[in-house]
A and B are shown apart, each in its own frame.
Chain A
């Protein structure tokens, strides 16, 4: 146990210690607690931490946290509180506090909680993790938020000067004060280090920072072999982007953590940090990070692979092997939380859902439920051809169709209503479309990567547009990896094929509705016909026909199944939106939603213009994608035959 008070702070602890002993003597009615030098220092440290200097008594909550950090059972802690006299006095004065600490030490050494035990020579009480950590971990989420946020930042800063172990004490040198915790478990050490660093660096930001002492402790820990080793891990997590985002973090550090009581809520600084990290991996914020890239990135955090695997499972909600920005934020947040000792939840907390995160970043006007269904529809929409439309329509739909969504009916009538509702696009939705665009691009993840680029361009074009038709919902399991020859790919291709196959049947002149009755996935296809499919129709036809024929039987059940899955919800709304778009130019909406009738007309006209532009772009995109689809399909067939020939019995 390192002793020796820090140079600067030595005086105060010593002074406090002396005062403490006397106070102790008085407080316990004559019980003279012999406090050794180290104990005095330690206790005064802890006491000052728990209660700001001017006050005479330690705050109950911070004391409670500290006690919990000692990892004693609650009964013992209650006992200790009683014995030390805090219960009687009603507060934790210095005397009570010191007695309590002594009792904690006794309890940890296995002695019963009695006044007598503390008369013995006892080691310092051990508190799990640094005080900082304990407070962070068990304290208010606000702190935790701040800490979690700090972790990467701290490491970032540290990164610049200490990439390796031991080494350099950037902090005020001063001989290390006695560490707050005696040997903690190594995992906690690892967690502690970043946290403590975070605290040290974010001192200004966080309320409870005590300045020099913390940094000293940090340096202390740095000296520890394992800790420094562990520390080295944290900077790796930030990776190359650390240096780049250093400045960002600095400013972020200023703002202190806040947020209520939800450790799964991402604060603004954290979000900004995550976004920067995302940028370092993928410059396009609306696109996604591929699985391998993300894997390398998160592996740097040195979390065990099963945990990373679980984090991925939680955060990749659409199961496509890639992380969009909100998914990435959620994953990063989970990693940070895990590092700080939080157990991973079994299911993704509501505040980490992608739609929630996107909504939050957009100054959501709607409640989360809306976005849940909304994102559902977005995720469902596979056909990105009609990007813009999807964006708008889906956005629009969200509020109007939330109830419809719940029903999950593929009701044309409803779709019609929805579509009309779409036409009225309240101004507030417009900003949502931006995010929708992002989500749309996310929805495209399953597609070949090249699509993302076109999608973003489309999004830009579409941003102003209103009431874009929603793309058809995409099959739930979409695998972007060409190597995967499993049936999902077949389904996906088939569904795509089916969709494109439907293009010819409903020519642009046809109202969107009819397609619904044709197949299970009518709406998706309708989009395309209306969107000037003429040029690409022929090639799509050929491609679609071939694929349709090939995949007809299996795809039908597959599609049906896909339908019944989450997609079911999306289809109805999506189709309606598509229908809406198509009917838009045709007829004026006879909306049940006539809230913004005046705005509607203006909006509709603008939308029509924008949509036409979008149409052209989407048509081009569609043809390209069809080509890709054909090629991929051919590849697949070739590979399958090869597989059959070469390896009749394979392991995997």
Chain B
């Protein structure tokens, strides 16, 4: 059950499409995970594989040790986004996520409502767009 703990898109017109994209990309992420085998799960995976023909955007994936997946969809026209930045963004996300986990009132598996987390996500997205 890969239900989303948190989903957010900045230009909200095609939100549903992005949701769909994220969901389909989960399959690819799972594939990559299982392909890892016994090796330690890589901290981040640059996931440039999925290029939607018409829309031309990139989907990046990231998986934590506890199999929590982060999927990021960015516009391909935004070429300023380099790999490092993507990585740092994922790292920030991961840190925020761990902060949420610290909160004893948060049950793992719940949807994330933490304002701090949202703040981080918003600032990141503002930065990019």
Contacts and interface: CB of A to CB of B under 8 A. Distances in A.
Q: Give the contact-size bracket for chain A.
A: 35 or more
Given A310-B115, A313-B115, A484 B105 contact: no
Contacts of A650: 66-67
Nearest to B1: A651
A552 to B, nearest CB: 13
A146 B50 CA distance: 61
Nearest to A637: B40
B97 to A, nearest CB: 8
Interface stretch (A215-223, A244-252, A280-288, A291-299): A291-299
Contacts of B66: 484-486, 650, 652
Contacts of A294: 104
A55 to B, nearest CB: 47
A267 to B, nearest CB: 27
B56 interface: no
Given A309-B114, A652-B66, A640 B2 contact: no
B98 A652 contact: no
Interface in A486-525: 486-488, 490
Give chain B's interface secondary structure class: loop
Scoring A313, A554, A561 by chain B CB atoms within 10 A of each residue's CB, the highest score goes to A313
B38 interface: yes
Contact of B116 (A298, A313, A487): A313
B103 interface: yes
A335 to B, nearest CB: 12
Contact of A644 (B30, B38, B113): B38
B108 interface: yes
A291 B94 contact: no
Interface stretch (A46-54, A314-322, A586-594): A314-322
B5 to A, nearest CB: 9
B33 interface: yes
A291 B114 contact: no
B64 A486 contact: yes
B95 interface: yes
Interface in A554-603: 554, 557, 561
Contacts of B3: 651
Nearest to B108: A652
Contacts of A306: 113
Contacts of A557: 91
A309 B113 contact: yes
Given A485-B65, A487-B43, A319 B38 contact: no
Contacts of B10: none
A333 interface: no
A479 interface: yes
B124 interface: no
A295 B2 CA distance: 28
A640 B38 CA distance: 10
B99 to A, nearest CB: 5
A5 B97 CA distance: 57
Contacts of A479: 98, 101-102
A487 B113 contact: no
Contacts of B114: 309-310, 313
B90 to A, nearest CB: 10
Contacts of B113: 306, 309
Interface in B48-70: 64-68
B30 A488 contact: no
A308 interface: yes
A308 B64 contact: no
A644 B116 CA distance: 31
Contacts of B95: 476-477, 488
Given A291-B102, A645-B38, A650-B66, 20 more contacts: A295-B104, A295-B105, A308-B105, A310-B114, A319-B98, A321-B104, A477-B95, A477-B98, A486-B66, A487-B65, A488-B94, A640-B65, A641-B38, A643-B67, A644-B41, A647-B67, A651-B1, A651-B2, A651-B109, A652-B68
21 contacts: A291-B103, A295-B105, A298-B105, A309-B106, A309-B114, A313-B116, A316-B103, A319-B98, A476-B95, A479-B102, A484-B66, A486-B65, A486-B98, A487-B43, A487-B94, A561-B88, A643-B65, A643-B67, A644-B36, A649-B33, A651-B2
Interface of B: 1-3, 30, 33-34, 36-38, 40-41, 43, 64-68, 88, 91, 94-95, 97-99, 101-106, 108-109, 113-116
